[in-house]
Amino acid sequence: MFNKLKERLSGFTKSLGKQIDEKAVPVEPAQEEVAEIPFVSSSGSETEQQPLDDTATENVIDDTEPQKTTVSDLNTGTKYIEDAKASKSPEQKKTGLVSKAKALVFEREFILEEKDLEEPLWDLQIALLESDIALTVAEAITEAVRSELVGSRRKIGKDTTNIVEQALRNALYDVMSANVFDLDDYVRNAKKPVHIVFVGINGTGKTTSIAKTAKRFKDMGYSVVLAAGDTFRAGAIDQLQIHGDRVGVKVIRHQEGGDPAAVVYDAMQYAKAHKADIVLSDTAGRMHTNLNLMEQLKKVCRVSAPDLIIFVDEAVAGNDAVERAAQFNEAVPINGSILTKTDADAKGGAAISIAYITGKPILFLGMGQGYDDLQKFEPKWFVDQIFE
Ligand SMILES: Nc1nc2c(ncn2[C@@H]2O[C@H](COP(=O)(O)OP(=O)(O)OP(=O)(O)O)[C@@H](O)[C@H]2O)c(=O)[nH]1
Ligand SMILES: [Mg+2]
């Protein structure tokens, strides 16, 4: 998943990391002392335990991970850490005392200026665009990285790529978590039956996503009803029926060519009568450019007044998916999106862009053809995937 994006972003963090490394200068080392810390067991007596030694030593060294070097380095005027562990005599270990250790804490720092970042950020923007991230989103991400890195004096340890990676992580996280909506919370608290309609263009995975969502909610203990609202495509009703039978949920269906709004209405009546919790309505796939079919979709949504409308598209469609999401959102205000086929998507751009462009969250990622291949979308989880 998203391998190409991972590769491009890691290329960026490495090359900017290298640049920072070259630019970083050592700063006046600070001299510190380790406090004398006796080991006291829970019974109050000194013990021979040693683990605290390590902790205490690390505390001296600072979280910038200074490089440990030999004492002879001191002569060169750069840095040294007299390792507290190394200086411990068996005697000291026995009494459980950490030795007093002098440490020169080696630190380097850098300040990045606008001009240092010009080229790397341009490369980053190209990498994002080539990963199918929409232009405005790519700009927002590079801008966030710029404002995090430019100007401030930063201390660094050994690994300069961490600083760049963190800036990129923060930028991606901010872009993706702007519109958070927890569907599970919503369903838990909403008046039942909750009615959710799935919309999108042909073949993107609406029906499959309905089956996956139905299974997910059923596994959570809810009773679910499906409405076979795609009365348009031959075989669509039977396809939903097969999914319903496999997952073990009721399917309300009419004849092919019937009025989708009437099917959805019946499904809601059935759900109310049987005290079902959730109705998931399928709709026919339609191009956002087909005005007649989009009008029909508006009608279905108006008549059945769903609680939520979910836009389904495939991640592999990249920027096209982003554009379609925006168009569907104009016709029937969507509450969120499901991105399918992320298992086959190397670029990852649609996932990053859709939420930002529509202002509506991504709810799930479809990650395969099995019923359990539905991943609840969490911005942090997603960002972790990219940098794993
Ligand atoms: N690899 C993969 N395939 C998927 C995923 N979701 C759906 N598919 C496949 O995509 C194809 C189309 O899925 P459908 O659910 O029929 O799509 P649809 O949007 O309902 O299509 P129409 O009803 O024709 O508009 C099927 O072969 C699915 O198995 C996914 O997350 N990963
Ligand atoms: Mg379908």
Task: Provide the CATH number for the domain formed by 3-22+112-176 in this structure.
Answer: 1.20.120.140
- What is the value of pTM for the model shown? 0.79
pLDDT at 78: 36
For residue 231, the Cα-to-chain-centroid distance in whole angstroms is: 36
Domains 3-22+112-176 and 183-379 share a fold: no
Per-residue model confidence as pLDDT tens digits over 251-277: 999 999 999 999 999 999 999 999 999
Q: Could you say which ligand is closest to the alpha carbon of residue 285?
A: 1
The three-class DSSP label of residue 112 is: strand
Q: What is the mean pLDDT of the chain?
A: 82
pLDDT at 33: 47
CA of 178 to the centre of ligand 2 (A): 30
pLDDT at 15: 86
Cα gap 289→293, rounded to integer Å: 9
Please, which residues have CB within 8 angstroms of residue 179's CB and are 6 or more apart in sequence?
355, 359, 360, 361
Beta strands in 47-101 (DSSP E): none
Domain 183-379: state its class. Answer: alpha beta
CA of 285 to the centre of ligand 2 (A): 6
| Under 8 Å between Cβ of 13 and 387 | no
Cα gap 214→279, rounded to integer Å: 9
Per-residue model confidence as pLDDT tens digits over 236-248: 999 999 999 999 9
Which ligand 1 atom sits closest to the C-alpha of 236? 23
| Under 8 Å between Cβ of 322 and 352 | no
Q: What does the DSSP 8-state code read for residue 183?
A: H
pLDDT at 106: 58
CA of 236 to the centre of ligand 2 (A): 6
End-to-end CA distance of the chain: 11
Report which of 246, 320, 333, 330 is spatially closest to residue 291, judged by C-alpha positions. Answer: 330
Q: Is pLDDT at 86 greater than 90 in this prediction?
A: no
Ligand 1 first shell, C-beta below 6 A = 200, 202-208, 230, 233, 236, 285, 340-341, 343-344, 366-369, 373
From 202, 369, 371, the mutation candidate for ligand 1 (largest count of ligand atoms within 8 A of CB) is 369
Domain ranges in the chain are: 3-22+112-176, 28-109, 183-379
Q: Is pLDDT at 354 greater than 60 in this prediction?
A: yes
Report which of 302, 271, 296, 269 is spatially closest to residue 284, judged by C-alpha positions. Answer: 296
Per-residue model confidence as pLDDT tens digits over 312-351: 999 999 999 999 999 999 999 999 999 999 999 888 889 8
The whole-number average pLDDT for the span 91-111 is 53
